Structure 1
Amino acid sequence: MKIAFLKIGLVLLLLLGLSSCKQKEGSKDNANTELTEVSEESGFIEIFDGKTLSNWKGDPTYWSVQNGNLVGEVTPETLLKSNTFIIWQGGQPDDFELKLEFKIATSGNSGINYRSELLDTIPNALKGYQADIDGKMRYTGQNYEEKKRATLAYRGENVIINTQNNSNEPESLRANVKKNCWQSREVIGSLGDSDSLKLNIKSDDWNEAHLIIKGNKLQHYINGVLMSEVTDNDTVNRKLKGYLGVQVHVGPPMKVEYRNIRLKNL
């Protein structure tokens, strides 16, 4: 009998030990998951406080803070004659990642400008690279260069931009744009069909944009899906640093909202 009891006791101890090991392993896995989630956001800083327009410059007719969101709004009484931006005043990033969430009305047209220049002739206006955003989702995710080379990559395209000539005069730029698209570009691959990629974008709801801008490679992600990629080899017209800003576009009354705007310098 004693031997039998001893055997039962040893079995119970063994089972308890295995259970304890499993619990410890589970705790370790959970800890690693938590660390991974933290490390993915490591280095990002909030550049919009959700309360004020501090460190942002734009026309208060069109830009405000509502319910913690940065809101751009055009009303029937405030229709625009030219696109207007609210511009971050914290620097001119070169290599960076930008994450933010946006929600846009169906009638809306907006975009996230980066590595951009200020225009002298129009207040609160930028020219430069833009991650396009629109409410009908025709253009959302593409790379459009505002007031410069126009469309560089449509949604679903991996593109190389080549130097067109040795001049960056406005006349030269206009001559090389046809049907609102830069002609000195080469589509080197597909990221997916544009209409299929559009299924990853939510209409009149919150979406996350993630821009990875490093060297001459420009990647636009929406909700974790790569929508366009540009390698800009045009040493005459490309920019490697510049202003960040978001836009409201000429057109009908519209509303666009941004929140959780985070920047990481690379």
Structure 2
Amino acid sequence: MMKSSFVALCVFCQMATVCLAEKPTTADWSELQVSRLPKSEKPIRLFNGHDFAGWEGQTEKYFSVDKGIIVAKNGKDNAPPASTYLVTKKKYRNFRLIFESKLVTSEMHSGISLWGKTVEKKGDPYSYMGHLVMYPSNYGYWDLYRRNSIYRDADGVAKKAGKQHDWNRMEILAIGNRIRHVINGKLVADWSDPKPELCEAGPIGLQLHSNRGPQEVHFRGLILSADPTEELVTVHPSEKR
């Protein structure tokens, strides 16, 4: 009896191990959101997990790919004098972007740039003029090289929802002149630009901020739907009204 019970316990443990191994990893989070998208949307993967096909930027100096993750990194001796961006070769106007990002080293914010264009600043041809959705450290929206701060996390909602040195699961919904930002299931920003003429199609960029010390930021997922519906798909059910 004891022997059969022991065998049964071993089989159960093995089955549990298999189930855990087959359970989706955190790296699959963005992929899991695809099934939640409205049927009218046709998602594309901006990042293939292996190389920079479809992207351009300082890939020899600041950006690399490691185990399915885009790594933006600089050391003390090669800190970017101006914020530099890895940008998509294609331009986007109305879109939904689902992705994860993690600030590994430094306390400087990173962000996603949109509705603008690359410009040369301090010798770097891949700086950016346009809108920026910032996280973590400082949350809000910035108009790069034009109006500066355009939306602040004044009530601290984004800071409370975000994680400083861990993976943040995010959704950006940019339609018309309106930008919404979801962090870890919480809608933290919903703002419409009073100057819609500045909301033009442009490349999407991953920011490595200008700094004077070592810095490292990770990105993964990066699934995009062009011309999306108004529905936010990653907001937690308890947050929906």
Quote the Cα distance in structure 2 between the aligned partners of 1:105 and 1:242: 28
Q: How high is the sequence identity, in percent, across the aligned residues?
A: 24
After superposition, give the CA deviation of every residue in 1:89-136 in whole Å (9 maximum; x if it has no partner).
Answer: 1x21111101110000251431100111121454111111111123xx
What are the equivalent positions in structure 2 for 1:50-61 lying under 5 Å apart?
50-59=49-58, 60-61=60-61
After superposition, give the CA deviation of every residue in 1:56-112 in whole Å (9 maximum; x if it has no partner).
Answer: 1111210000121001001012112111111111x2111110111000025143110
Residue 239 of structure 1, aligned match among 187, 199, 206: 199
Residue 40 of structure 1, aligned match among 37, 41, 64: 37
Quote the Cα distance in structure 1 between the aligned partners of 2:46 and 2:38: 14
State the AA in 2 paired with 1:75.
G
Aligned twin of 2:71:
71
Gaps (5+ residues) in structure 2? 1-32, 228-241
Tell whether 2:176 aligns with 1:215. Answer: yes
Relative to structure 1, the CA distance from residue 125 to residue 148 in structure 2 (aligned partners, 3 Å threshold; closer, same or farther) is same
Quote the Cα distance in structure 2 between the aligned partners of 1:256 and 1:52: 17
When normalised by structure 2's length, the TM-score is 0.72
Quote the Cα distance in structure 1 between the aligned partners of 2:184 and 2:43: 18
Quote the Cα distance in structure 1 between the aligned partners of 2:69 and 2:161: 23
After superposition, give the CA deviation of every residue in 1:198-227 in whole Å (9 maximum; x if it has no partner).
Answer: 222122111112111111111111112122
Quote the Cα distance in structure 2 between the aligned partners of 1:114 and 1:221: 16
Quote the Cα distance in structure 2 between the aligned partners of 1:68 and 1:37: 18
After superposition, give the CA deviation of every residue in 1:178-201 in whole Å (9 maximum; x if it has no partner).
Answer: xxxxxxxxxxxxxxx31x542221
What are the equivalent positions in structure 2 for 1:52-131 lying under 5 Å apart?
52-59=51-58, 60-89=60-89, 91-105=90-104, 107=106, 108-120=108-120, 122-131=124-133
What are the equivalent positions in structure 2 for 1:6-17 lying under 5 Å apart?
none
Which aligned segments of 4 or more residues in structure 1 are displaced greater than 2 angstroms? 39-43
After superposition, give the CA deviation of every residue in 1:13-47 in whole Å (9 maximum; x if it has no partner).
Answer: xxxxxxxxxxxxxxxxxxxxxxx972427522111
State the AA in 1 paired with 2:204.
L
Q: Is the 8 A contact 1:216 1:240 kept in 2?
A: no
Quote the Cα distance in structure 2 between the aligned partners of 1:37 and 1:80: 35
Quote the Cα distance in structure 2 between the aligned partners of 1:214 and 1:234: 14
Quote the Cα distance in structure 1 between the aligned partners of 2:93 and 2:205: 14
Aligned twin of 1:144:
142
3-state secondary structure, aligned to 1:92: strand
Gaps (5+ residues) in structure 1? 1-35, 157-192
Tell whether 2:232 aligns with 1:260. Answer: no
Residues matched between the structures, number: 188
Q: Is the 8 A contact 2:105 2:217 kept in 1?
A: no
Residue 249 of structure 1, aligned match among 183, 192, 209: 209
Q: Is the 8 A contact 1:98 1:212 kept in 2?
A: yes
Quote the Cα distance in structure 1 between the aligned partners of 2:226 and 2:99: 15
Quote the Cα distance in structure 2 between the aligned partners of 1:213 and 1:230: 10
3-state secondary structure, aligned to 1:61: coil
| Aligned-CA RMSD value | 1.9
Quote the Cα distance in structure 1 between the aligned partners of 2:196 and 2:220: 34
3-state secondary structure, aligned to 1:49: coil
Quote the Cα distance in structure 2 between the aligned partners of 1:203 and 1:81: 24
Q: Is the 8 A contact 1:109 1:254 kept in 2?
A: no
Per-residue deviation, 1:235: 4.4
